[in-house]
């Protein structure tokens, strides 16, 4: 009787999107039934089954051997919702069901709702279960590590993708970062985005480009600034000057604001410099009011980034700010070498 019951629960989970129009959407306080949660944890998998080695750190477990990419793979993925500036894209697994995912450089880790864990065939790891508590938002419940054997982002295949499943709540709550229409069921954080050779957020053209191994070369016709990045609390930060004050600011593609900072006595930065790139009259949103983690560190959010094409160039450890390219397309720069080396990608 156990196997038919398990199949029934999975079928009900798969039917959730079809029934959404017949019942109100879940709130951030709604929880899954104990039976559904038990179903997910029924068969935990030893990480070694996926070729993973687990190490402990002060932030939680680290899974060596996860998030494997394939050379020569690249993808262009459109943002869902043409008027949106938060980068929500579609991803899928071997089962091919499409799930909405937020590309969030403000998050150290990647996260799943329980419904999306079923849809993406994520398998819980353990025993014992591996827990992680998000520290970039006001989260109170830990997530539980699970492995997606193959995650597809456009034409890119990520093998052994590790993400943390938010339980017992139905939605991702504060992890979704105010993204709506569509509301993401998956968060792809810096742990994944740093593994690509580059990730380009082409805000004006509502799309993102990702490459597993290609070198990114910016065109001097469009380049505004190229700023080295440093890792801060698992995220990416650049040096800035805010009204003459030096600081490090996190680049936060999931942040629905211009600048979030714990400065309740200030509402506007008159001049914010990233290298030679000047941003004027930047509105400050109080980070504590947004319940953001480490509010003493300023965060540059998507409402400011959307003016540019912003590329995280992991090979050269920099963040590139460029004028938008009208076509939003890339072309391959031809290589004279006969070896099958990765090509570089530059704007037209």
Q: Tens digit of pLDDT for each residue in 108-128?
A: 999 999 999 999 999 999 999
Specify if 63 maps to a domain: yes
Same domain? 176 vs 120: yes
Contact 238, 248 (CB under 8 A): yes
**For residue 151, what are the domain limits?**
33-198
| Domain assignment of residue 6, yes or no | no
Kindly state the percentage of the chain with pLDDT values over 90: 76
Question: Do 64 and 153 fall within a single domain?
Answer: yes
**Is there a domain that residue 313 lies in?**
yes
Q: Domain check: are 64 and 167 in the same one?
A: yes
Q: What is the pLDDT of residue 178?
A: 87
- The pLDDT value recorded for residue 268 is 96
Is the pLDDT reported for residue 170 higher than 50?
Answer: yes
- The answer to whether residues 187 and 267 belong to one domain is no
In-domain check, residue 13? no
184 and 234 co-located in one domain: no
Both 53 and 139 in one domain: the answer is yes
Answer whether residue 305 is part of any domain.
yes
The reply to whether 128 and 254 lie within a common domain is: no
**For 233, left (φ over 0), alpha (ψ -120 to 50), or beta?**
left
Helix/strand/coil percentages in the chain, nearest 5: 15, 40, 45
Q: Tell me, what's the pLDDT at 333?
A: 40
CATH number at residue 47: 2.40.70.10
The pTM score is 0.87
- For residues 129 and 53, membership in a common domain is answered with yes
Q: Is residue 210 part of a domain?
A: no
Do 316 and 185 share a structural domain?
no
Per-residue pLDDT band at 58 (split at 50, 70, 90): confident
User: Based on the domain organization, do 182 and 297 belong to the same domain?
Assistant: no
Closest C-alpha among 244, 243, 242, 231 to residue 298: 242
Q: CA Rg, the chain, in Å? A: 20
Looking at 1-153, list the stretches that DSSP marks H as alpha helix, in order from N- to C-terminal side: 2-14, 16-19, 34-40, 114-119
Q: What is the mean pLDDT of residues 170-175?
A: 95
Task: Tell me the per-residue pLDDT of 12-27, one tens digit each, with 9 for 90 and over.
Answer: 344 334 333 445 678 8
Under DSSP, the state recorded for 10 is H
* Average pLDDT over all residues of the chain: 87
Tokens of 231: 């890792």
Overall number of domains in the chain: 2
Strand-pairing partners, residue 143, are 132, 166
In this prediction, residue 263 carries a pLDDT of 85
Domain identity same for 241 and 304: yes
Task: Give the burial string for 295-309 (b: 16+ CB within 10 Å, else e).
Answer: bebbbbbbbbbbebb
Q: Do 181 and 241 share a domain, yes or no?
A: no
**Residue 7 counted as domain residue:** no
Q: Which range (53-57, 101-105, 323-327) has the least confidence? A: 323-327
């Amino acid at each position: 009787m156990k196997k038919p019951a398990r199949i029934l629960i999975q079928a009900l989970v798969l039917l959730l999107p079809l029934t959404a129009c017949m019942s109100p959407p879940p709130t951030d306080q709604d929880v899954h039934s104990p039976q559904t949660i038990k179903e997910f944890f029924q068969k935990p998998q030893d990480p070694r089954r996926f070729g993973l080695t687990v190490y402990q750190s002060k932030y939680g477990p680290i899974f060596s051997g996860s998030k494997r990419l394939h050379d020569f793979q690249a993808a262009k993925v459109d943002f869902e919702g043409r008027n949106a500036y938060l980068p929500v894209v579609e991803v899928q697994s071997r089962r091919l069901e499409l799930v909405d995912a937020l590309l969030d450089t403000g998050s150290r880790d990647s996260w799943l709702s329980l419904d999306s864990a079923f849809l993406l065939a994520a398998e819980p790891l353990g025993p014992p279960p591996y827990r992680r508590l998000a520290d970039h938002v006001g989260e109170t419940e830990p997530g539980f590590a699970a492995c997606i054997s193959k995650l597809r982002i456009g034409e890119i295949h990520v093998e052994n993708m590790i993400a943390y499943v938010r339980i017992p709540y139905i939605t991702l709550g504060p992890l979704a970062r105010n993204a709506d229409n569509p509301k993401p069921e998956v968060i792809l954080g810096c742990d994944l985005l740093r593994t690509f050779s580059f990730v380009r957020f082409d805000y004006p053209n509502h799309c993102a480009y990702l490459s597993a191994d290609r070198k990114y070369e910016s065109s001097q016709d469009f380049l505004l600034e190229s700023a080295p990045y440093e890792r801060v609390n698992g995220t990416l930060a650049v040096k800035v000057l805010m009204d003459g004050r030096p600081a490090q600011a996190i680049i936060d593609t999931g942040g629905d604001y211009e600048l979030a900072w714990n400065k309740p006595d200030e509402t506007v930065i008159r001049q914010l410099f990233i290298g030679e790139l000047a941003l004027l009259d930047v509105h400050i949103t109080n980070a504590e009011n947004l319940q953001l983690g480490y509010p003493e560190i300023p965060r540059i959010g998507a409402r400011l980034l959307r003016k540019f094409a912003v590329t995280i160039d992991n090979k050269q450890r920099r963040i590139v700010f460029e004028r938008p390219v009208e076509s939003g397309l890339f072309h391959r720069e031809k290589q004279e070498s006969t070896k099958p080396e990765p090509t570089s990608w530059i704007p037209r």
